[in-house]
Amino acid sequence: MSKSSLQIAQFALLMSFLNFLFFHYPFFTFVFNHVDYKSFNGIIIIISLVIAMVVANFFAFYLFLFLSRYFGKFLLLLFFNINALAVYFINTYSVIIDESMVGNILNTNYDESSSFFSFKLIIYLLFLGILPSIYIIKTEIIKVSFKKFLTTFSVTLLFLLILVFVNAGNWLWIDKNSKTLGGLAMPWSYTVNTSLFYIHKHKKNEKEILLPNATIKDNKKSVVVLVIGESARRENFSLYGYKKNTNPYLSKTENLYHFNAVSSATYTTGGVKAILDFKKTDDLYEILPNYLYRNNVEVVWRTTNWGEPPVHIKNYQKRDFLMPDCKGEECNYDEVLLTGLKEQILSSTKNKILIILHTSTSHGPTYSKKYPPQFETFKPVCNSVELGNCSQTELINAYDNTIVYTDYILHNVIEDLKQLKDYNSTMIFVSDHGESLGEKNLYMHGLPLSIAPKEQYEIPFIVWMSDSAKQIKPNKELSQQYVFHSVLHFLNIQSPIYDEKLNIFK
């Protein structure tokens, strides 16, 4: 037998061992940090997980290769290269590849995904993906008889079952940490969670559940501008006591209120859906813009972002739609959303108007590219996509500049609304989720809400009103569902699903 020839079992075991060696440092770092590795039970858990990882992957690889050596090799090529990319992101940004993170990846557009490109990513892909792939392609696999396959397959399966029952006492610990363990186990983190994502997406793509009809109760001209922030965490707004002045405009604005709020998710699709839903739900109910549009309200959606539920309105406007009428460098940033905004409101033939601006200002990792140069208030800034290579000061400075720019955008929205003397107007700003900036060695967002740090779910909720006589309830902490009912109240729209408890206005 030549050196480049191996029997299926030998090849599958070698691939399983290399898969374990190359891609499971984050997995076992988590295990070591969450068990008492000096205790007998802790040692048993660690040893059992090592054996289970190698044997379970051998079991799967062996099966695939026996069914078809070509298909089995193709899967291994995919696994090693995707594993390399996955481990790069886990090591660089401390993410977990769970179902919500898979959704983030699959919904990411080209501009956003290209911002993660780095030399370090190429190194990961070359040494952990491409080089093993060359070996996989060149190695000749010697097939075995069905009887030998069945014997090996059965013994392996029996061994796995015995291992599971031997660890019956540790099931509780494994179950408690299953989401994190599953999100770090390669290649099953993304294969299983991608399947779950598409199963749940298919379920959600069923026809949306219509809400009961609503009634507009007066003819008073009213406009709500809902600004959906991206990755804006509360603690970096000086309105909330942050030591750096990141809100130079809003801090001087009259009739402005701010509330503590928490997001329903730590990722865009979940956070935006929660802002637009009338209650916290996984079901696909009719969202706010669709509901109001169907009930004769003028609705405009402007976006430089992505990830919202299906929007069924006439005026859905992306950056490409707005660019021809926008002049100046600011058109390359979120200011493009303000292009002709006041004019569009004035041109409406309806008395009730909802404008939604979905921004992308504070989305990482390229914070320093999310604002025009004149907004680089805090220096030095992080310019690397590998956030761990930047100092904490550089990273936070770059992020804080995105908040300064957000402050300016919100100020301009308010100034536009102030000029609409015939309208009763309000601006509501709420973020989809927060952001980690190196605290506990975590970056960006997307951790499961159950284990996410507060930086990823504590968000700002800021409200401005044109009518100084109108008052706000003294709420201590809001959820994202307050948006739906507050908008209905402000536009004086009566609906059977309206909940006064979730309305911020008196």
Pair 177, 231 in one domain: no
pLDDT averaged over every residue in the chain: 89
Examine the fold and report which residue of 170, 204, 238 is the final residue of a domain before the chain moves on: 204
Q: Give domain status of residue 400, yes or no.
A: yes
Pair 386, 254 in one domain: yes
Number of residues assigned to the chain: 506
Pair 173, 290 in one domain: no
Please report, as a single letter, which amino acid is at residue 74: F
Residue 285, φ and ψ in degrees, nearest 5: -80, 160
Pair 171, 191 in one domain: yes
Q: Give domain status of residue 157, yes or no.
A: yes
- Can you give the CATH number for the domain in which 406 is found? 3.40.720.10
pLDDT at position 1 is 39
Pair 252, 320 in one domain: yes
Instruction: Tally the domains of the chain.
Output: 2
Tokens of 372: 């025009």
Q: Give domain status of residue 32, yes or no.
A: yes
Max Cα-Cα span within the chain: 89
DSSP codes of every residue in 350-362: SSEEEEEEE--TT
Place of tokens 């790069």: 88
Pair 188, 222 in one domain: no
* Digit-coded pLDDT (tens) for 85-128: 889 888 888 778 877 777 777 666 656 666 677 888 899 999 99
CA distances from 182 to 76, 97, 320, 374, 456 (A): 19, 8, 39, 44, 21
- Asked, as a colleague might, if the bond just before 187 is cis with ω within 30 of 0, I would say yes
Examine the fold and report which residue of 160, 177, 204 is the final residue of a domain before the chain moves on: 204
What predicted TM-score, i.e. pTM, was given to this entire model?
A: 0.75
Q: Give domain status of residue 210, yes or no.
A: no
Q: Give domain status of residue 319, yes or no.
A: yes
Pair 220, 174 in one domain: no
Please state, in angstroms and rounded to a whole number, the distance separating the CA atoms of residues 483 and 278.
8
Examine the fold and report which residue of 180, 204, 228 is the final residue of a domain before the chain moves on: 204
Please report, as a single letter, which amino acid is at residue 269: T
Residue whose C-alpha is closest to residue 288's, from 224, 218, 207: 224
Q: Quickly state the pLDDT bin for 36 (edges 50, 70, 90).
A: confident
Please state, in angstroms and rounded to a whole number, the distance separating the CA atoms of residues 287 and 407.
27
Res. 255: pLDDT tops 90: yes
Give the residue numbers spanning the domain of 107.
5-204
DSSP codes of every residue in 155-166: HHHHHHHHHHHH
Q: Give domain status of residue 345, yes or no.
A: yes
CA distances from 462 to 291, 391, 403, 489 (A): 23, 30, 13, 17
Q: Quickly state the pLDDT bin for 378 (edges 50, 70, 90).
A: very high
Strand ranges (E), 398-454: 424-431, 436-437, 443-444
Give 104: exposed, middle or buried? Use CB within 10 Å, 0-12, 13-18, 19+: buried
Q: Give domain status of residue 295, yes or no.
A: yes
Tokens of 269: 């699709």
Pair 99, 158 in one domain: yes
Average pLDDT (461-474) is 86
* Digit-coded pLDDT (tens) for 123-148: 999 999 999 999 999 999 988 888 99
> Nearest 10 degrees: CA dihedral of 369, 372, 377, 383?
20
Q: What 3-state class would DSSP assign to 382?
A: coil
Average pLDDT (35-59) is 86
Pair 113, 55 in one domain: yes
Please state, in angstroms and rounded to a whole number, the distance separating the CA atoms of residues 419 and 215.
28
Pair 349, 292 in one domain: yes
Q: Give domain status of residue 209, yes or no.
A: no
* Digit-coded pLDDT (tens) for 416-428: 999 999 999 999 9
Pair 28, 164 in one domain: yes
Average pLDDT (383-409) is 92
Res. 334: pLDDT tops 60: yes
Res. 160: pLDDT tops 70: yes
Pair 177, 263 in one domain: no
